[in-house]
Amino acid sequence: MARKSTTQRVVVSTIGAWFFGFLIFFPILWMVLASFKTELEAFAIPPSFLFFHWTTENYATVQERSDYLLHAMNSIIIAGGSTLIALLIAIPAAWSMAFSPTKRTKDILLWMLSTKMMPPVGVLVPIYLIYKSFGLLDSRIGLVFILCLGNLPIVIWMLFTYFKEIPRDILEAARMDGATIGRELVYVLTPMAIPGLASTMLLNLILAWNEAFWTLNLSTSNAAPLTTFIASYSSPEGLFWAKLSAASTLAIAPILVLGWFSQKQLVRGLTFGAVK
Amino acid sequence: MGQITLQGVQKSFGPVHIIKGADLEIADGSFVVFVGPSGCGKTTLLRLIAGLEDVTGGSILIDGKNVVDTPPAKRGLSMVFQSYALYPHMSVRGNIGFGLKMAGLSKDETNRKVEAAAATLNLTPYLDRKPRELSGGQRQRVAIGRAIVREPKAFLFDEPLSNLDAALRVQMRIEVTRLQKQLGTTAIYVTHDQVEAMTMADKIVVLNGGKIEQYGSPLELYERPANLFVAGFIGSPKMNFVTGENAAQKGAATIGVRPEHIKIERDGAGGWPGTIAVAEHLGSDTFLYVDAGPLGMLTARYIGELSLHAGDRVSLVPDPARIHRFDASGNALRN
Ligand SMILES: Nc1ncnc2c1ncn2[C@@H]1O[C@H](COP(=O)(O)OP(=O)(O)OP(=O)(O)O)[C@@H](O)[C@H]1O
Ligand SMILES: [Mg+2]
């Protein structure tokens, strides 16, 4: 009896999990399907799920009308560059706050987080004007800079929590074992911090890749990353569902692949500390 | 060699004075235990010796050389932490050998020494496991292995057994003592378990509120406590203290007598009369907690079984030769 009810529960929860998983995944699936339809079919009511005329012409048009590779390159540079710089600044910052905290450390952390509470649109005009006077509009370096600043608080917070997890005792044990600061860093701290560093880097890459507010407002063509590239398909002249879907599919593909291959690392990193 | 001398060692954390001038002479090869109530500064004093904290004043000499400005890595001491503090990403072999690697020993030599240490501690089958794949007792042994393999001038232990269960604790206590005698290396051992202190130590340091109350062999502390604090701290159950008229008769402000030095008489007229509040029968011992009216609660111990129960009236007769006398400021009076 008891056994039967547990198998029932397993079946029910499995079905439930698949159902919700599918529900969450559905918009992405729908977008991918739409990208293979003709514009007419993409609008059709009732929509056809699988039995439509499959075509790749949208992808051809998208590539023709705009330079996908240029935008993809911009996305890589902007996301990668801002992540790298953010890590370079955040590692020492989080390090010092985790290992030699002062009375003010908590306040500084809170203050940094509070900068994320302000809506970015509140500073759009001043930033736009500053960028204009410095000639940073539509430049990769400008976008790297603003995204780096935008994500820095989150990166520092994440690293801080990871570093805090490393017991002081272990560092002291290394010191007692005769390790100099440099060797302590190489042999003990870095190997212990790598999972945290990796997941912080991944999360930040994804955030920067998908960031749309600043990239849309501060870039037009030369430095425009994939977000701007997608947006260019929802133009006042009319909505092109199929082409918009094709562009979006192309835009999320790289980060989706990256996320897929690193999901183990990501999940481990995001639950580190919460689940031992 | 591992002779350690503390001269007027002081430590403050900001405005808080934690160690208030400690003087201590630890002979080479001896096993010294720091005991005291929680928060009295045992760990702090040990960390000062290790070099993990900087002294605020005074000097620490190892083999005659002042080391207050020497970093921990160069003091030649090794430490076993309460949390074990093993490197989680290294195997047992890597953990034990880390110090040797840092010292620049060759791979072969390191392996040889690591394997010898592992054999001493019965860790050979686990050499290639990670710490998370070991039991608490095994982790503890790895931490000890890491300490002995470097052949330090002294071992520093900070409550190394407090995370183990009672049976394992007794076993490890014996192993640590045996190992220390066999190696002949100086050891400083922090604990607040007084059985550990009494059984392991050549000499005990009793700390209270950042001050050394007494330094001596276990039996010295038991037989001749220097003051009320040490008298009450060493020995279990605690020493009974009596003030007032009974003490004045002996020319003291307070007199103390240990539970095992009290004779229990069923209805004697002499001594201190009272009613048994609680009787504990352990078979090997009987402990009586007696309400002695104006004298307060007194504890008496009888070796073996004594068929007395709560509510029975008894009379407690202290052994006159084993009464400790203290003056008004709590210091022991010697005859
Ligand atoms: N880094 C520090 N900053 C401020 N105060 C500290 C610091 N380390 C210890 N203390 C204080 O110093 C006192 C002694 O601490 P210590 O850890 O030496 O006690 P202990 O005797 O080892 O106690 P326990 O038996 O509980 O381990 C405590 O009151 C503690 O709050
Ligand atoms: Mg302590």
Residue predicted with more confidence, A44 or A79: A79
**Chain B touched by A101 (CB under 8 Å):** no
| B227, B297: one domain | no
Domain end (from B177, B197, B232): B232
- A177-192: per-residue pLDDT in tens? 999 888 888 898 888 8
Domain count, chain B: 2
Query: Residues with Cβ < 8 Å from B264, sequence gap 6 or more?
Result: B288, B300, B302, B306, B308, B314, B315, B316, B317
| B172, B274: one domain | no
Look up the CATH number of the domain holding residue B49: 3.40.50.300
Helix pair angle (A105-114, A68-99), 10° resolution = 160
Among B10, B42, B46, which residue has the most ligand 1 atoms within 8 Å of its CB, making it the best to mutate?
A: B42
Q: Is the peptide bond before A46 cis (omega within 30 degrees of 0)?
A: yes
Of B142, B170, B191, the residue nearest B32 (C-alpha): B191
| B329, B301: one domain | yes
Q: Note whether A175 contacts B103, CB cutoff 8 Å.
A: no
Domain hosting B245: range is 241-333
Domain end (from B212, B232, B252): B232
Question: Cα-flanking dihedrals φ and ψ of residue B10, to 5°?
Answer: -130, 150
A169 CB neighbours in chain B (<8 A) are 81, 83, 85
Pairwise CA distance, residues A238 & A243, whole Å? 11
Distance (angstroms) between ligand 1 centre and the Cα of A18 equals 53
| B200, B311: one domain | no
ipTM value, please give it. 0.84
Q: Note whether A173 contacts B81, CB cutoff 8 Å.
A: yes
Unique residue bearing structure tokens 């004007």? A129
**Of the candidate ranges B59-73, B268-282, B294-308, the one whose mean pLDDT is the lowest:** B268-282
- A31-53: per-residue pLDDT in tens? 898 889 888 787 777 777 777 78
Residue predicted with more confidence, B83 or A261: B83
| B106, B248: one domain | no
Which pLDDT does position B80 carry in this prediction? 94
Domains of chain A: 7-58 (no CATH), 66-232 (1.10.3720.10)
- A114-145: per-residue pLDDT in tens? 888 888 888 899 999 999 999 889 899 999 99
| B306, B202: one domain | no
Please give the radius of gyration of chain B, using alpha carbons only, rounded to the nearest integer. 24
Distance (angstroms) between ligand 1 centre and the Cα of B69 equals 22
Residue predicted with more confidence, B302 or B268: B302
| B140, B157: one domain | yes
Statement: residue A59 has pLDDT above 80? yes
CA-nearest residue to A168 within chain B is B85
| B16, B148: one domain | yes
Query: ∠ CA(B171), CA(B178), CA(B27), 5° rounding?
Result: 130
